[in-house]
Amino acid sequence: MTDSASTGAAQTRRYEDILVVVIDHPPVNALSATVRRDLSDAIAQAQTDTRVRAILLLGAGKNFIAGADIREFGKPPQPPLLPDLCNQIEASAKPVVAALHGATLGGGLEIALAAHYRVALASAKLGLPEVNLGLLPGAGGTQRAPRLMGAQAALDLMLTGKHLPADAALASGLVDVLSSEEDPLDAGLAYTRELLALNAGPRRTRDAAEALADRPAQLAVVNAAAERVAATTRGLYSPAKIVDAVRAAIEQPFDEGLRIERALFLQCLDSPQRAALVHAFFAERETAKIPELKEARSRRLDRVGIIGGGTMGAGIAVAVLDAGLPVVMVEQDEAALARGRARVEQVYDLLVNKGRITADERAARLARYTGATSYDALGEADLIIEAVFEDMAVKQAVFAQLDRVAKPGAVLATNTSYLDVDRIAEATRGPADVLGLHFFSPANIMKLMEVVVGRHTAPDTVATGFELARRLRKIPVRAGVCDGFIGNRILAVHRQAADMMMEDGASPYDIDAAVRAFGYPMGPYQMADLAGGDIGWATRKRRAATRDPALRYVQIPDRLCERGWFGQKTGRGFYLYPDGARQGTPDPEVLAIIDEERRRAGITPRPFTQDDILRRYLAAMVNEAANVLHQGIALRPSDIDVVFLSGYGFPRHRGGPMHYADTVGLPSILADIRNYAQEDPAFWKPSPLLVQLAESGRTFGSLNAA
């Protein structure tokens, strides 16, 4: 090194004739205005420094550049704008090399694409994930990536938002070489010196032509992508704009393509979908801000016990094994234990067959698994998760046994979906150690976990639940104790609204179609068939003794269950599933049963438009969500949004039920509820919180900052 370093977010150091520019903006080198300004200044100064023959860009710490600075979201942009910075880098009269390691995402990858050469370390992960925020790459990414990779690979990168590992990036043409070095400085200097030895000058991505040379073939790829996006993205805005931008990369000169990209980017920026997706992004990060974590830290969490080897218990076991923790599974006898282990092995066999993990990785994970038929095997577990049948007496019996064998300080968790965690805790002498961990099925895949805090649950017990979620890479949401907690409590109410519409004249197939048109992957009756009608039936029977007699009870689902029609697993439910089909078809016999139930109830069916269905369905959801918030079951509106986005299929581009309600307008939703109350005042009772907010001109969003 022959020069001293400058200070700032982009630090410069000269190594003989190479100017090294290090982006140093902890924690992830996000592209803040300061980073952009300092990087622009460094590039400009290098142009006039006669000692500098080449410029090397790299990131300090674990990443190159992880993307935009989320702290600047929603604020007026500060110069230099990222497109201008990328153009400045590309226009450099001296060759610019980017040495990539760790996260090279979004604007970070656009910076790298504007450089003239790219070397990647094995740790590099490259991606353009803007679609996840309702945007498209707006600093030349849609124009430069296709020129290096071709339209197909570039569209795959941008439409999925997935990350490419270094070797795949090399194969695609996105980077030039892989380095075996562990330090990006060593890798970058070595590659830059090779280029200088060859007298390599600037090689601008804008001039790359080979990947798009076969214009008809590339346009055919874009046309196919446009058709696929229209058919599969369920109303999403930015994917179609990404396709349009890539089309411009093929059809237009580079500068015109940049102009089109910028116009499309600004259209996305102004879209309500972008605001909803950004809300979802921040909402997921807010869930970990809970009062208990301000006063306590997680207990030790090295060994996990699981009671029950059914579908849920096995899924939880896989999730824990994947996190690197040893698992002891306890079942009632050897036969049940063997079935539990077989379920765990089946998950890993499928992953191996799909190429997701290697046989060695499968073996390593299963090596952390042990099984037992005695509770005594749980004596060393730091956390024990009960995942047995959803019955209070059964769960209390399990916890009485756990109270006998668990070591002092062990956390005892129930995976109940509905039941009272406080009553379960009463079966132990230490209710402070008990909480609910409501996993969603399949537990090794679904990201959501409700952490249910009982009346006596200790803060460090809660902290341990959140630490488990972090290790399992799940999104934890704190919930209070009530029947169904946050998600299932609200679900029961808007499913009741759907059932009433079904009895009043809308077919289950019309209701499902309306909910899918809103953006859900499936409607409530498709979901009921997938989950199993017997699950809901058992819950309804459990609640029968305490059901409010003033509330209307629709018996249609019970009629199907009485026939043994539980959904996919029995070949029929609300839909028919011939020969084990996964996709159901409407069942005329179900419609006949519905007609008979309408006659029994003395109901004359009336028509429902798609708008009628959605307004009732969503009003019921929002109203009960407001009750959940009002009663302190959820800490904040955005937590409810996260529950529904991560666990119940609510369309992410609508931001969750609370955010969506704010966009519709709370006075409008309240007016609908009051209108519906004229026909059924027992069910349609406006939430006090909804009334308060609507009549004072406030939003649910105003409570998130509280």
Q: Which of 163, 279, 438, 494 is catalytic?
A: 438
Closest among 117, 179, 123, 178 to 148, alpha carbons compared: 117
Distance of CA 118 to the CA centre of its chain: 31
438 part of the active site: yes
Please answer whether residues 325 and 471 qualify as being in contact, where contact means their C-beta atoms are separated by less than 8 angstroms: yes
Look-up of token digits 């009062």: 291
450 part of the active site: yes
Per-residue DSSP letters for 27-45? TTT-B-HHHHHHHHHHHHH
Q: Which of 172, 179, 417, 627 is catalytic?
A: 417
63 part of the active site: no
The span from the CA of 336 to the CA of 328, in Å, is: 14
Residue spans of beta strands (DSSP E) within 143-226: 164-165, 177-179
The span from the CA of 292 to the CA of 81, in Å, is: 41
Sign of CA dihedral 621, 530, 515, 499: negative
Sign of CA dihedral 659, 663, 665, 669: negative
284 part of the active site: no
Strand order through the sheet with 164-165:
103-105, 125-127, 164-165
At 651 the three-state DSSP class reads: coil
Q: Which of 172, 179, 238, 488 is catalytic?
A: 488
Q: Which of 450, 467, 503, 624 is catalytic?
A: 450
The span from the CA of 303 to the CA of 101, in Å, is: 33
What b/e readout covers 265-276, taking b as 16+ CB neighbours within 10 angstroms?
Answer: beebbebebbbb
- How many Cα atoms are found within 13 Å in the side-chain-facing hemisphere of 242? 34
Geometric angle at alpha carbon 679, from 676 and 683, rounded to 5°: 65
Closest among 687, 676, 682, 685 to 552, alpha carbons compared: 682
Catalytic (active-site) positions: 417, 438, 450, 488
